[in-house]
């Protein structure tokens, strides 16, 4: 940013020869006795204290510089602004700074929202020092303070930002540091109100370094992961909208991409799911008919054995026969039960397949293999729609229609005494 036009009569600060200290024109004697040089060109100055109602100022010595002008006025202004800013900052016992934000690179061309490491807050300051070389022998901060969380350094920018080398050195020192831009100010515009306003604006102030604890770093990682999931969800919604718009144009072609692949797989998955319910049911007709025959058979055998072995209560042959008959009945019951469940599955698929596949397509399902998910969005659709809605509807259908297929729930079946043989 270009410096404002320099005026010789506005030069009111100079460097005292010998001590190297900054002196205001009102602090030095009139004329050449001021013993000061220009901060821009280092030419000799004369202090002017007019008797009229004009502010005092410095001018260049004609004896040294015949043109009585500064040969480097911009450097003079920058040096004065830099000095005044440091001086005003060092006089403060508290300041308020901008929040510290952590920024991330874009993910899949989507912007990751920055994480607020620390909010804007007031910093209590003490023991202010300018150009303190005790912090490091490799760099010197413009102004440094002691705070409750360690050192806070403020770098004053008048010409250019700090370079990467100094930034690295500050990070290695483990101190908090910000950079304040005053490059567009003239000496007369430097005041504490302007500085305080700029410290609260991210246009003029930015964090150079903000040391983090392990907990602080973990919060940044967690935020980064949450933003990844948010973006993935956002992309899935966009993709879903695209699929939905495409689906409306493909309703006559079996529900777009998903139905082409998934229709055959759907039949297998629904059939397997219904057959897995086998352990919850009995084939009512088989059990009743076969067990009725068992009762009659055992009554006959018991009568004959009593005739051959009167007063005998322990018949091994009868026990073996009891076991074999029950085993055969159970096997035949399982076969019939599975056949009934398969019939139920076929009826469900015939009546509900188009509706269920259409529902998946409308949610954005792309017909991928259910056990392998290429992205988070497809997994979400599968678990939420197929597992969460369709399979629940299948379960309700199986329970409500079981009686129509000659099946009964296990908890509702007739209790058969396990000690039947010895109860005869």
Which DSSP symbol is given to 148? T
How do strand 150-157 and strand 143-147 relate by DSSP bridges?
antiparallel
DSSP E strands in 49-167: the ranges are 57-60, 94-97, 100-102, 115-118, 121-124, 126-130, 143-147, 150-157
Higher-confidence residue: 24 or 359? 24
Given CA atoms 169, 171, 172, 175 in this order, what sign does their dihedral have? positive
Q: Confidence class of residue 397 from pLDDT cuts 50, 70 and 90? A: confident
Q: Where are the domains of the chain?
A: 8-71, 88-211, 242-423
pLDDT of 285 strictly over 90: no
pLDDT in tens, 119-152: 999 999 999 998 888 888 888 898 999 999 999 9
DSSP 110: B
Mean pLDDT of the chain: 76
pLDDT digits (tens, 9 = 90+) for 40-51: 888 888 888 887
Helix (H) or strand (E) holding 416: none
Q: What is the pLDDT of residues 338-355, one digit of tens each?
A: 777 777 777 777 777 777
Q: Please report the pLDDT score of residue 414 as a whole number.
A: 40
Q: Which two tokens stand for residue 126?
A: 């003490």
Tell me, what DSSP letter sits at residue 107?
A: B
Which of 8-17, 85-94, 179-188, 305-314 shows the lowest mean pLDDT across its residues?
305-314
Using the predicted structure, report yes or no on whether residue 65 has a pLDDT greater than 70. no
């Amino acid at each position: 940013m270009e410096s404002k036009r320099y005026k010789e009569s506005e030069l009111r600060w100079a460097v005292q020869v010998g001590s190297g200290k900054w002196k205001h024109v009102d602090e030095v004697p009139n004329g050449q006795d001021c013993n000061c040089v220009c901060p821009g060109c280092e030419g000799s100055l004369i202090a002017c204290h007019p008797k009229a109602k004009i502010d005092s100022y410095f001018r260049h010595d004609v004896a040294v510089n015949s043109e009585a002008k500064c040969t480097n006025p911009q450097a003079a202004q920058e040096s004065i602004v830099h000095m005044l800013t440091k001086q005003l900052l060092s006089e403060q016992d508290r300041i308020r700074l901008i929040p510290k934000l952590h920024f991330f690179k874009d993910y899949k061309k989507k912007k990751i929202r920055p994480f607020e490491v620390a909010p804007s807050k007031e910093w209590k300051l003490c023991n202010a020092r300018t150009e303190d070389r005790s912090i490091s022998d490799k760099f010197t901060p413009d102004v440094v303070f002691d705070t409750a969380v360690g050192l806070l350094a403020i770098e004053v920018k008048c010409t250019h930002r700090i370079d990467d080398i100094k930034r690295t050195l500050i990070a290695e020192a483990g101190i908090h540091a910000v950079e304040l831009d005053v490059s567009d100010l003239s000496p007369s515009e430097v005041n504490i109100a302007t500085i305080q306003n700029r410290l609260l604006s991210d246009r003029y102030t930015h964090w150079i370094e903000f040391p983090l604890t392990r907990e602080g770093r973990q919060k940044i990682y967690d935020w980064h992961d949450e933003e990844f999931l948010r973006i993935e969800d956002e992309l899935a919604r966009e993709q879903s909208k695209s699929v939905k718009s495409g689906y409306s144009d493909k309703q006559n072609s079996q529900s777009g991409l998903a139905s082409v692949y998934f229709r055959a797989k759907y039949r297998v998955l629904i059939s397997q799911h219904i057959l897995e319910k086998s352990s919850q049911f009995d084939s009512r007709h088989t059990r009743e008919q076969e067990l009725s025959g068992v009762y009659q058979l055992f009554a006959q055998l018991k009568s004959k054995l009593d005739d051959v072995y009167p007063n005998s209560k322990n018949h091994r042959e009868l026990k073996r026969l009891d076991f074999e008959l029950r085993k055969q009945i159970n096997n035949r019951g399982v076969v019939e039960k599975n056949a009934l469940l398969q019939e139920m599955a076929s009826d469900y698929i015939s009546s509900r397949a188009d509706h269920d596949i259409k529902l998946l397509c409308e949610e954005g399902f792309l017909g991928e293999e259910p056990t392998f998910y290429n992205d988070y969005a497809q997994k979400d659709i599968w678990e939420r729609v197929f597992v969460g809605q369709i399979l629940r509807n299948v379960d309700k259908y199986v329970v409500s229609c079981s009686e129509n297929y000659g099946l009964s729930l296990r908890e509702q079946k007739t209790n058969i005494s396990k000690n039947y043989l010895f109860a005869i």
